[in-house]
Amino acid sequence: MNYLSTEFSLFGRTFTPLHLLAGLGTITFATTTLTVIRALHIYLHRSKISRYHHPLKTVTKNDSRVGASDQPWGLVTGASSGIGLEIANQLAERGFNVILHGRNEAKLGKIVEGLQKKWPVRAFKMLLLDAALNEIPNFAKTVLDCINGLNLTVVIHNIGGSGEPVGIKVETFEEYDATKVDSWINVNLRFSTQLTRVLLPTLIKNQPALLMFISSGSALIAVPFMSIYSGAKIYLNSFAQVLRAEFKLAGHDIEVQSQMPGTVATETSGRSEKDRGFTMPMADEWVRSMFDKVGYGSPVFSPWFGHRVQAGIFGALPSFVTERLIVSISKKVRKEINGANPATRDT
């Protein structure tokens, strides 16, 4: 008996199993195509950052703030190197004056000098605060004094990491002391949260405004030595989504995004031009892809296509395979980094 030609009726019509298979095939094809189109759609998006490039609405003719300050300003945290420095550069390129946050006055001063030479018609300011501290003296006052009278419309929380030089030592959570735990929490989530609290009334006043967080692909994959870091990046993703919903609820025109880089060739990631490739952009390339996605409808995503593909492949693997792979890579990394340093060499 040929089962494929067996007829059955459904909704008053006659079908064979072949009809059923063809129907299932069409549905699978259509949903896969839709998923691929949805995944790729974001990479065709063009930046809407110009929405936030608007003069102060409240400026009047006699207002002492008229001048540089009625032009839009962007604030970038952790702007003295890597991605943050490139964000500052590309904000200036897009017509914004820029406040650069950092902790090292001499280092940041040189950066500002360089940017001022490159973009002579833009204005630049420094905001000096050590984000690792549990209590930052005069935190709110320092921030508010810095932005006083400025038309701040863009805030990009880029700061992240251990705040320590690269390649010294990698540690599991078991090895952290209390100070290290606080420092990771402060740099990776507490500082950005408190800064958002202090800046929010200004963004509301100056809306439409943009509030951006630089998260990480490590929010998606559990990698040893990144316990608090990964947790903090997941926090930033959720924080951004809830703020976005709350702003919609309150009727504020403030766009919130949390964008997730995979590895980007910066000094801190220990990568450089020679490592550049499909899954490892240079900071300027990644930041351009980040600005391109401003105005895109989703709150959390990877703007760099190569990182999206990488995450998709990892996500498609069974979790026990991913886990084994990551643990084995991590063992190698620990041996390389800690082994190179006699003080931290594993036995």
Ligand X SMILES: NC(=O)c1ccc[n+]([C@@H]2O[C@H](COP(=O)([O-])OP(=O)(O)OC[C@H]3O[C@@H](n4cnc5c(N)ncnc54)[C@H](OP(=O)(O)O)[C@@H]3O)[C@@H](O)[C@H]2O)c1
**Which parts of this chain interact with ligand X (CB under 6 A)?**
78-84, 102-104, 107, 130-132, 158-161, 163, 187, 214, 216-217, 261, 263-264, 266-269
Nearest partner of 282 among 111, 89, 83, judged by Cα: 83
Least spacing, CB of residue 78 vs ligand X, in Å: 3
Helix-helix angle 82-93:105-118, to 10 degrees: 30
Q: Nearer Cβ to ligand X, position 110 or 335? A: 110
Q: Nearer Cβ to ligand X, position 69 or 162? A: 162
Least spacing, CB of residue 311 vs ligand X, in Å: 12
Least spacing, CB of residue 278 vs ligand X, in Å: 15
Q: Nearer Cβ to ligand X, position 196 or 266? A: 266
Q: Map residue 211 onto helix, strand or coil.
A: strand
C-alpha distances in angstroms, 309 versus 40, 45, 141, 280, 324? Answer: 10, 17, 44, 12, 20
Task: HSE, CB side, 13 Å, CA atoms: give it for residue 63.
Answer: 15
Least spacing, CB of residue 279 vs ligand X, in Å: 11
Residue with tokens 């709110």: 140
Contacts of 164 (CB under 8 A, 6+ apart): none
* 274 CB-contact burial (10 Å; exposed 0-12 / middle 13-18 / buried 19+): exposed
- Report the distance separating Cα 126 and Cα 136, nearest Å: 16
What H or E segment, with its residue span, contains residue 85?
Answer: helix 82-93
Q: Nearer Cβ to ligand X, position 6 or 104? A: 104
Q: Nearer Cβ to ligand X, position 42 or 265? A: 265
> Which two three-digit tokens encode residue 295?
């105005």
Residue with tokens 């040189």: 110
- Report the distance separating Cα 186 and Cα 131, nearest Å: 6
Least spacing, CB of residue 267 vs ligand X, in Å: 6
Least spacing, CB of residue 213 vs ligand X, in Å: 8
Give Rg (Cα) of the chain. 24
Least spacing, CB of residue 307 vs ligand X, in Å: 9
Q: Map residue 7 onto helix, strand or coil.
A: coil
Q: Nearer Cβ to ligand X, position 49 or 264? A: 264
Q: Nearer Cβ to ligand X, position 79 or 152? A: 79
